[in-house]
Structure 1
Amino acid sequence: MIGATYAASAFADDADSSSPAANRVEVTGTYLRGIKQQSATPMTVIKTEDLTKQGIVNVEQAVAAIAANTSAITAATSVGTDNGGAAFADLRGLGEQYTLVLLDGRRMANQASNGLAVDLNAIPLATIDHIDVYKGGATATYGTDAIAGVINFVTKKSVQGATIEARILSPQHPGGLTKEVSVTGGKGSLVDDGFNVYGSFTASKSNEIKTTDRDFAQNSLNPIGTSGNSFPANYVPQNVDPNTGKVTVLGSATNPMYPGCNPPTLVAYNGTCREQTPLFYGIQPEVEQYTVTGKASKQINEDNLVALQYIGTQTTTKTRVAPTPLLTYTNDFFTLPSTSPYFPTSGLPDGTNQLELHSRSIPAGDRMDEIVSTTQRVMATADGMIGSWAYAGGLAYSQNQVRHYLTGGYVDGSKLQDAFNNGTLNPFGDSAPGAWDSVALNGKIEEDKYATTLADFHVNKDIYTLPAGAVQFVAGVEARHESLDAVFTQLAQSALSTGLESAQNTSGSRNSQAVFMQLAIPVTETLNVNLAARDDYFSDFGNTANPEVKFTWQPIEQIKFRGNASTGFRAPSLYNIYQPNQQTNTAGQYNDPLNCPNGVLQPGGNQGRDCEAQQQLLIGGSKDLKPEKSDSASFGFVVEPIKAVTASVDFWWTNIHDTIGTLSESAIFADPDKYADRFVRDPSTQKLLYVIDTTQNLGNTMTSGIDLSATVRLPKTDIGNFSVTYDGTYLTKFDYQHEKDGQYFHGIGQFSDYNNAPIFRYKQDLNLNWNKGNFSGILGSTYQTGYQDMYEGNRVASYILWNLSGTYVYHKDLTITAGIKNLFDKAPPYSNQDYTFQQGYDPRFFDAVGRAYYLQASYKM
């Protein structure tokens, strides 16, 4: 069941659970043994087998089912961006950098192109036994940078026998077909043989969904998402003074050669023909993934276990966006001279020598990108007992490598002007065969690498006995080395409209060490106090010490009160510091406040460049950043009035000081006077070159909310057993500053410029579960409240999805599940946001697949 439970649960992986070492349980958020101490902090435990029954086949989908998660970067956002095809977890909606993602309790390398967090695509769901979601804020155990919480993916301890699994998801509408097959096999019993070896291989592929495959993605696109760079080209007639070379604009950006504007891709708007670029997109990319997992465990004796594990994942993401706008990253346009055979012979002012082209490479085809992300981790661990001391330690190396290829539709900016000058290219119609091929380019433009080497060791012992029980003590150490490298090829400088034309190679590294201690004190039989502290040293940001305190108080059996408080510290990530400086397009379209204030073109301005157009941003890291500090607290209670009903309510608060991020582009353009120093212009022409938006310390972020959960097991009936699980998160505050000591902005229920995404007031997951004999079923729903949209005048509606599935187990060997996702074929509500390439809705938080049927089978041999 996807439901919250008030206490973490221990899971037996196989028949070897009778082994003391194999059965030793550690729960996310602490290294203390047992369950009693851990319930001080809200914890959700999700069994993987329950996810697969609902048609969830990858980790991104699993995390999306967590009510406290609001991920603004998903696989769909790789369309038109340079995020490496990544998907991230984001508890509380604070940002992916505040959620610590672990695999078997240890860190992995961050995704190399983004650099702030672990790519969920790197974690293979096939060998995950369960997922622990710890929502307690910064933790002294795993790291005080886990400000929003921890998600720990726990793999199977051992596997015996072989299992073959196959899944298919077939949408009712075109595109999006998903297939997966996995094989897992293992040998040896830790109890009987003293060893276990297992391995797993999974291959999956999800097909692309295009804008034209979904009605909702084609509706309401005019004028949102249109571009003045079109084909046939718009143009501005110009006269070049032969003596000075100075260009005089004689006309406006218009093209009388096609007054009909050739719908549907071209529409008349604001005196020009504009391209409806979203009609060319793939709104959901094609994704192909292969994962390999291997683990060997050896029982040294009854109390000591060693293991060696390897996990490798390769994800290939293929995206499609509209053909290239013929515009350099410095906002310069290409021109067509009067000597071109394609120069118009009429309709131009006298003396016109050339045309400034507002064009797009439609004949060259859609821009196609392929991103290959490869993550590998090898880890050796040992845990057990030495005398009365329990111990655990590990050594791990993980690496993420992202390679970015251009595979179609891109053109070489260094060749384009010559092609217009010599008559090779016709910007208004058909060119000679092969003409566009002469300026096309393909190949690798970027390779990024992030590596993490980690070693840790901790011990645990009962050190003193009080009347209420034993005092437990934990002490541990951890050391990490992290490195980041970004390398751009010459191709990146030549290809138009990648956002990487000015990117420079960069690299950086960091060492860190930590020591932590934890103490669990049974003050009375009903009151337990847990004290912890962590001291970190960073080679580039110095030393920091942070405490944590938790308590549980259970005055009667039916109710338990709990709470925790901690401080946190997050050093700027390597990506925050070393992200390459580069000029890239804004996500939205804006008016130049000098040359086109409020959409009114000024003398010397350019309609296609300065009005309702994508502008240029200078983005990149900064070595002047300060670390973030935080404080978190929670208080709640769990009630169990009868054995069949468990419910919990937890109030929480998280404050972040000196928040690291980039100021929203919409905030900069909304107040050009305040941010005048960010607008960089050509000193002679006053053309806007770019807007500075590099990483900085913004100010404070203050959030609070309520986590709710319940599990109700209904009385047994003749038609089966029923239960209901519920998990919800309600935000009461989400306030943030754009700069230190500045104004606080309120984000709840709005499309916020905190993260250029909506901040939902309330989200929930609700499931009705049924079982009878070998049959079981789940009717589940997810719900999120509506919000005020990016632009005034629209409110995005609340959104609820229903899913239905049924499972049959035959002789314990064959399990068959069939189901329907998005049972009522609910389309995404309309949104006027233009932050993502997809338009008319928000692809990050709403289902673009529609109703889909899935079938999966698992056979154990």
Structure 2
Amino acid sequence: MFPSRFASRPLGCPLPRQGWRLLLALAAAGPPAWAQAPLPRVEVTGSALRQIDGESTVPLTVLHADSLRRQGVSTLEQALARLAANQSATVLSSVIGGASGGASFADLRGLGADKTLVLLNGRRLANQAVDGGAVDLNMIPFALIDRIEVLRDGASALYGSEAIGGVINLITREDVGDTLELSVEQPQRAGGRSREANASLGFGDLAGRGFSASVAAGLRQTTAIRSGQRRFGARGVIPERGVDYSSFYTNPANYSQTQGGDTFYAHPLAPDCAAAGFSGDGTSCYFDTVRDTDLSPRSESQFLHAEARLRLPGAMTLKLEQLLSRHLVRQTLAGTPLASGDGFLPVAPGTAFYPGQGGVPAPDGFVLDPSLPVDTYWRAPGQRQIAADNRQGRWVAELAGAVGAWEMRQGLSLQLGRVHEQLRGGAYDEAALAAGVNSGLLNPFGAQTPAGLALLREAEVRGTLQRARGRVLGLDSQWRRELAWPGLARPAGLALGGELRHEDYAIEVVDAVAGRVPTQGLDPAGDVQSSRRAGALWGELQLPLAADLELNLALRHDQVGQVGGQTSPKLALRWQARRDALLRASVGRGFRAPTLYELNQPGFATFSAAPLDDPLRCPGGTPVDGADPARVCGRQFVEQGGGRKSLRPERAEQASLGLVLQAGPRASLSADLWAVRIRDVIVTPSAAAVLQNAAANEALILRDAAGDIESIDTRLFNASEIRSQGLDLGAQWQPQLPLPGRLELALQGTQVFSHTLRGGLVAGTEERVGRHGSQGPIFRWQHSLSASYALGPWRATLAQRFRSGYRDENGALIDPAFHGRVASYSVWDLGLAWSPQPSLQLLAVLRNAFDRDPPFSNQSSQFQTGYDARYTDATGRALGLRLVWTPQ
């Protein structure tokens, strides 16, 4: 009665020398010679054993790519945005002003992207090279995907590290034939247009001729969305909402002079500050940097995939697979704030552009002391152009078949990834500009002389800032069979296996570039290279205790270099008391090993994402007596980040309880309660999070002799505990209609009851459900709802994505009078497909059919302002057209 589901299963983690020998012996010699003919079963993600029914002991969600394409989905990021259990906080737009390298990460349960394991055809994917923390979904072309299987349960007992929040298994298409696919999507407003072309060729016949092969390639391009192209993200100064994220670093520059114990401020355009993007307070001017910052970057993706299968003697099959992909992301940001170690650039007395001479007006509010310098707060002219060039290769050789009563699979894989972060324009040698300002060659207050323009051209810095590289070599072995044991209702299932990996990651900071632009936050001495071996042995036993009762036991032991051994058990129970009702439950333990970067990353310095107030020296935005407002109020403080070699693994316990009901042949309902607890969580603090709870985090706030903040320690450390509980709901219904055609309705939703943080940056216990908190919000309710109606060659689809509202960040710079909530976010997509003949399909999709803007948010965690780009889509209403031609 339950639908059949197929999936693959990975193998995963490290061992000392004895483990390597044992795994190699297992792969070479094969299993013990027990004999029992296997029954025909299907395999599901979350178990190494084949199941009689598609509904296994663990909760599984299957997203079919064809259905997603009819909703306008063309990337894995878009696909997983329709998964109710996913709460991703790193998306493509996160690259704006950030260090994500243009990645998109999955994040099941909102536990962290590094606690969701992503597989491709059952094998672990290498994490992105920038920090080694999670798999970049943008490196996997959605055009290759047949379906996405999501295990919504902890699974370290089978998959090892990172499988705490769950497992996402990406299944590629099999037996790919000749296909040409062209698509374009045009938003109603400017920016965000995408174009895509994919083609594949297939030849051979594995069953008939003993071999088959296919080649596929594709290209996708998306234009940037500029801030001025969307009203909801066009301003960083929104007085009617209490938002003012403008910067004191302007072009022309603010300046100050300290005379005795008093500091005076001025700006050439004050008091009116009548220039685009400027505002003032009477003496100084402020610049709205959002005007010069992208909402979404320009991106380009390419891929080449090749696969060959060869039938060998003895019922064996050899599979060879290669995937090459590239993702290039370009972002535009406001010019760099220029500052020496003191936070300003001095202009020496008597130089050409000292205020009061050289065309620069003298200040109105005070009299300059011509014997003293003035301190300028200057922003480099123009806009910065930064690119992240991501490339990845994956090669797999797999041997599968039957050896006696055993079904086996052996795999050898190599994955190479690299990310180059590049300056493409608008960045300058900051020491050269500081010298030019001090000497009077550069004018920070207005137009440049020819000599100043020549210096700017000479000082512009282009090239690669840093290179990140990752390499993972893996060997996996899996054996499974059935065993006839006395007293069991049917044969038991046994699976044994193991995995070995060699991980090698490196980051090289290019001194000749990064050393000239220190505000990019890269330490020229910050190179890191590290490697380790990881290995695991695991076993799974499926015991049918009665005709309607099945017990599943799994145990895995991992040895991870620099971390040590971890043992992960899991017990699952499946009871099908009636043909139309199934009860399932599971308990288990899991872990996440610190990445090589978390352990070995050297220290670095950068600026906070948004201007912040020192809660001690500028409480509520008002400086205390004797404090310099420019140093304590509305300042982008220096963050001192980096790794820590003493980090311990994160440890987790999980439990789930679920019920599946079948209401006749046309309707089914599932409900799964889940709970997870994670201890020793590795925390990456931000300056904003530290200052929000300054009393508890005073040890992380480093002050100078005057008491002003010198920097904030944002290095990693084991500090927190996470507890989360919730309910997953799923429903499918095919109502009988008095009309021709077929209607299908589907719902998947997740309700989070509680998601708490304790320890680390948090004083006491912080509840994240329905509120922003120190690490972003957890949505209380998310769902995806779809209706599909098929009639002859036509198929219409209506789909909704919904996220509930939450209490806003309401940070320190927001007056309490403006504290509020972020409204719920609901987007409807409408699709119409037509297949006039089997070889041709035409598809039109209206995404965000009602043109719903993202709800307002006063968040300061991202460079985009006025909304939260992590959880919404800035594209707006967009019409997409797709043509798929499959010659017969």
Name the TM-score, length of structure 2 as normaliser.
0.91
Contact 1:331 1:689 (8 Å CA) reproduced = no
Distance in structure 2 (CA, Å) of the matches to 1:24 and 1:186 = 28
Distance in structure 1 (CA, Å) of the matches to 2:439 and 2:610 = 35
Contact 1:8 1:43 (8 Å CA) reproduced = no
Match of 1:130 in 2: 147
Please give the secondary structure, in 1, of the residue aligned with 2:436.
helix
Structure 2 residue identity aligned to 1:358: Y
Match of 1:505 in 2: 527
Alpha-carbon displacement from aligned partner over 1:51-90 (angstroms, at most 9, x marks no partner):
1111111111111111111110010010111211111000
Contact 1:237 1:249 (8 Å CA) reproduced = no
Q: In the TM superposition, what is the alpha-carbon distance from 1:47 to its structure 2 partner?
A: 1.5
Match of 1:620 in 2: 642
Change (3 A) 1:414 1:557: same
Q: In the TM superposition, what is the alpha-carbon distance from 1:603 to its structure 2 partner?
A: 5.6
Match of 2:196 in 1: 180
Distance in structure 2 (CA, Å) of the matches to 1:253 and 1:502 = 34
Is 1:349 the counterpart of 2:367? The answer is yes
Q: In the TM superposition, what is the alpha-carbon distance from 1:821 to its structure 2 partner?
A: 0.2
Distance in structure 2 (CA, Å) of the matches to 1:736 and 1:537 = 29
Match of 1:577 in 2: 599
Change (3 A) 1:212 1:849: same
Match of 2:791 in 1: 772
Contact 1:6 1:43 (8 Å CA) reproduced = no
Q: In the TM superposition, what is the alpha-carbon distance from 1:479 to its structure 2 partner?
A: 0.7
Match of 1:374 in 2: 391
Match of 1:53 in 2: 70
Match of 1:358 in 2: 377
Q: In the TM superposition, what is the alpha-carbon distance from 1:741 to its structure 2 partner?
A: 11
Structure 2 residue identity aligned to 1:9: R
Distance in structure 2 (CA, Å) of the matches to 1:147 and 1:7 = 26
Change (3 A) 1:262 1:652: same
Moved over 4 A (4+): 5-8
Structure 2 residue identity aligned to 1:733: S
Change (3 A) 1:33 1:303: farther
Alpha-carbon displacement from aligned partner over 1:629-653 (angstroms, at most 9, x marks no partner):
1100100100012111101000000
Distance in structure 1 (CA, Å) of the matches to 2:762 and 2:833 = 56
Q: In the TM superposition, what is the alpha-carbon distance from 1:698 to its structure 2 partner?
A: 1.4
Is 1:233 the counterpart of 2:244? The answer is no
Alpha-carbon displacement from aligned partner over 1:490-536 (angstroms, at most 9, x marks no partner):
21121142122466111221211111000111111111111110011
Match of 1:15 in 2: none
Contact 1:30 1:38 (8 Å CA) reproduced = no
Q: In the TM superposition, what is the alpha-carbon distance from 1:670 to its structure 2 partner?
A: 2.6
Distance in structure 2 (CA, Å) of the matches to 1:425 and 1:752 = 44
Structure 2 residue identity aligned to 1:332: G
Contact 2:198 2:216 (8 Å CA) reproduced = yes
Match of 2:510 in 1: 489
2:272 alignment partner, one of 247, 255, 260: 260
Is 1:844 the counterpart of 2:870? The answer is yes
Structure 2 residue identity aligned to 1:71: S
- Number of equivalenced pairs: 834
Is 1:480 the counterpart of 2:505? The answer is no
1:333 alignment partner, one of 339, 344, 357: 344
Contact 1:595 1:606 (8 Å CA) reproduced = no
2:823 alignment partner, one of 797, 807, 810: 797
Alpha-carbon displacement from aligned partner over 1:711-752 (angstroms, at most 9, x marks no partner):
000114424211110000000110111339962111100112
Match of 1:737 in 2: 758
Structure 1 residues 226-305: aligned runs within 5 Å: 226-238=246-258, 250-255=262-267, 257-269=269-281, 271-301=283-313, 303-305=315-317
Please give the secondary structure, in 2, of the residue aligned with 1:572.
coil
Change (3 A) 1:740 1:718: closer
1:10 alignment partner, one of 6, 31, 36: 6
Match of 2:771 in 1: 750
Distance in structure 1 (CA, Å) of the matches to 2:880 and 2:836 = 19
Distance in structure 2 (CA, Å) of the matches to 1:559 and 1:7 = 13
Change (3 A) 1:853 1:427: same
Structure 1 residue identity aligned to 2:872: F
Q: In the TM superposition, what is the alpha-carbon distance from 1:316 to its structure 2 partner?
A: 0.4
Moved more, 53-62 or 845-854: 53-62
Distance in structure 1 (CA, Å) of the matches to 2:524 and 2:758 = 30
Q: In the TM superposition, what is the alpha-carbon distance from 1:349 to its structure 2 partner?
A: 2.5
Match of 2:410 in 1: 393
Structure 1 residues 310-459: aligned runs within 5 Å: 310-328=322-340, 330-345=341-356, 346-347=362-363, 348-352=366-370, 353-362=372-381, 365-433=382-450, 434-435=453-454, 436-459=456-479
Contact 1:464 1:470 (8 Å CA) reproduced = yes
Alpha-carbon displacement from aligned partner over 1:691-728 (angstroms, at most 9, x marks no partner):
11110111211001000000000114424211110000
Distance in structure 2 (CA, Å) of the matches to 1:648 and 1:155 = 26
1:159 alignment partner, one of 176, 183, 192: 176
Q: In the TM superposition, what is the alpha-carbon distance from 1:302 to its structure 2 partner?
A: 7.2
Distance in structure 2 (CA, Å) of the matches to 1:128 and 1:421 = 58
Distance in structure 2 (CA, Å) of the matches to 1:220 and 1:418 = 31
Alpha-carbon displacement from aligned partner over 1:133-170 (angstroms, at most 9, x marks no partner):
1111133222253000000111123223x100001000
Contact 2:270 2:283 (8 Å CA) reproduced = no
Is 1:720 the counterpart of 2:741? The answer is yes
Contact 1:494 1:501 (8 Å CA) reproduced = no
Change (3 A) 1:841 1:742: closer
2:545 alignment partner, one of 489, 509, 523: 523
Distance in structure 2 (CA, Å) of the matches to 1:470 and 1:33 = 12
Percent of residue pairs bearing the same amino acid type: 30
Q: In the TM superposition, what is the alpha-carbon distance from 1:606 to its structure 2 partner?
A: 2.9
Contact 2:2 2:55 (8 Å CA) reproduced = no
Alpha-carbon displacement from aligned partner over 1:412-466 (angstroms, at most 9, x marks no partner):
1120122113322111111024242232111111000111111110111112245
Is 1:41 the counterpart of 2:45? The answer is no
Change (3 A) 1:78 1:667: closer
2:882 alignment partner, one of 847, 856, 861: 856
Change (3 A) 1:340 1:740: closer
Structure 2 residue identity aligned to 1:341: A
Match of 1:243 in 2: none
Distance in structure 2 (CA, Å) of the matches to 1:706 and 1:504 = 44
Distance in structure 1 (CA, Å) of the matches to 2:300 and 2:216 = 17
Unaligned runs of 5+ in 2: 9-36, 357-361, 811-815
Please give the secondary structure, in 2, of the residue aligned with 1:150.
strand
Q: What RMSD, in angstroms, separates the aligned Cα atoms of the two structures?
A: 2.1
Contact 1:159 1:196 (8 Å CA) reproduced = no
Distance in structure 2 (CA, Å) of the matches to 1:688 and 1:134 = 46
Match of 1:245 in 2: none
Match of 1:211 in 2: 227
Contact 1:444 1:489 (8 Å CA) reproduced = yes
Structure 1 residues 34-113: aligned runs within 5 Å: 34-36=51-53, 39-113=56-130
